[in-house]
Structure 1
């Protein structure tokens, strides 16, 4: 039979609702409290309802149907179906291995001022141009001079090896051209040197590359630069197989003078950019 209780509060469109049986089911119906509204609910055949049961109520048109009783929550969570094995001693099934942790990458910059700048000429280190460990560095022979060719050197000691094991990603050197020879733009020839400290005799020269194009300071620009040398050269210094840089040619020209550390504090400063994985 129709129940007009919902004319006060509409439950239309609410779907299945949970109510409380106010009476036991009898003659296929019971009284129930649904959302604060007392309704007469028809009971689905086969369901027995006692007063106080929580019931699942479904509305169809103006008729309420008690379609199930709701039991209490289980006291113990359900267990997995038995496999006939002692799960207490059976190891868990294998899973995919954890991914390999990504390596930690450290990067840095190492600044290496030269421990000595010197020029070699006629079988010895020049002392007529200042201290033999902070002198300017010359390349070639001055036109008409009776002296031999010059070769200039910068030595870096042990500091590059302080990051041994690192990978060099870039290497630069600071250079400034001073007055000597003509004022036109000229390029020195850079050489990689085996020794890291100044030897008594002529150092061992190795790889070569063309240096920067420079004019004379305050006369022809540019006269100063931060020049990128081959990355492999920086790596060789870190690895300890090389230790210095030089300007050297097998002919007289171009005659070039580059500042040593006594003339310019930044002269021949080597900067190594590096990374390391761990």
Structure 2
């Protein structure tokens, strides 16, 4: 049956029309708007209509029938942009790779022990066996054997493992003992990082600084530069200490240990890491 709108405007003869459902279908009918006119549309049992859906309707006599629900327009992706025919922009050579970050620093390593070996044992007659002065050679006319003085550095140098040593120095002070003329100790690298019970293993050798006796002949104190490879071997862990020792009795030399001078045998390692 027609609704009130049918008395105002007739849609007869328009054939199939598209309408917008104003209500959902219920009891076989719904309201729909078409061409500005609200009409009652009959809905077949097989069709379900929701409000605001576009529907296809057909008029037969005075009645409007829904024959299909129109699907929403498919989403069409936008067309690809046209090819860029402009010539490429010359941006020059690529930027160089950033330089590696290089870190540098110094590590100060006081000895964990300074000791002197003589006649098959560590000397205790001149003080503590782990902080005594360090001697080299034999005092003229002495009935005792030759002395060898040692400084051990523990594990601290190895805290720089992986770094490159650029410089290594050691602080030495010669005390009064023997003659007063300037004498040169023979420095050796030691394998052990701490004092063993037996005579340590000595390795590489180099001549130390020429020092006079303290208070008699200058200089008697110095910061001596060691071979760089010596510092590297301590960082790498293959060496752990320094010593003064000679195969003969002379020169007889006494260098300060920890008890005599707090800075005695202090090792400083200059390093870089990238």
TM-score between both structures, scaled by the size of structure 1: 0.66
1:224 correspondence with 2:218:
no
* Inter-partner Cα distance in structure 1 for 2:232 and 2:154: 15
1:245 correspondence with 2:242:
yes
1:175 correspondence with 2:172:
yes
Query: What's the offset of the Cα at 1:159?
Result: 0.5
Within the candidate set 211, 214, 224, 1:214 is matched to: 211
Residue 119 of structure 2 corresponds to which residue in structure 1? 122
Indicate the SS of the match to 1:191: strand
Which 4+ runs in 1 deviate beyond 6 A?
A: 91-95
1:275 correspondence with 2:264:
no
* Inter-partner Cα distance in structure 2 for 1:96 and 1:120: 66
Query: What's the offset of the Cα at 1:207?
Result: 0.3
The number of residues matched between the two structures is 192
Query: What's the offset of the Cα at 1:92?
Result: 9.9
| Structure 1 pair 94–86 and aligned structure 2 pair: CA distance change class (3 A) | farther
* Inter-partner Cα distance in structure 2 for 1:146 and 1:85: 104
Segments of 5+ residues of structure 2 without an aligned counterpart are 1-80
Indicate the SS of the match to 1:237: helix
1:264 correspondence with 2:253:
no
Residue by residue over 1:159-217, the C-alpha shift from the partner in whole angstroms, topping out at 9 and shown as x without a partner, is 00111111111000000001111011000000000000000100000000000000000
Query: What's the offset of the Cα at 1:98?
Result: 3.9
Segments of 5+ residues of structure 1 without an aligned counterpart are 1-83
Q: Please give the residue correspondences for 1:87-98 in structure 2 after superposition, counting only pairs within 5 Å.
A: 87=84, 96-98=93-95
* Inter-partner Cα distance in structure 2 for 1:252 and 1:190: 15
Indicate the SS of the match to 1:242: coil
Q: Please give the residue correspondences for 1:1-278 in structure 2 after superposition, counting only pairs within 5 Å.
A: 86-87=83-84, 96-277=93-274
Residue 46 of structure 2 corresponds to which residue in structure 1? none
* Inter-partner Cα distance in structure 2 for 1:127 and 1:97: 69
* Inter-partner Cα distance in structure 2 for 1:212 and 1:204: 23
Give the superposed CA RMSD. 2.0
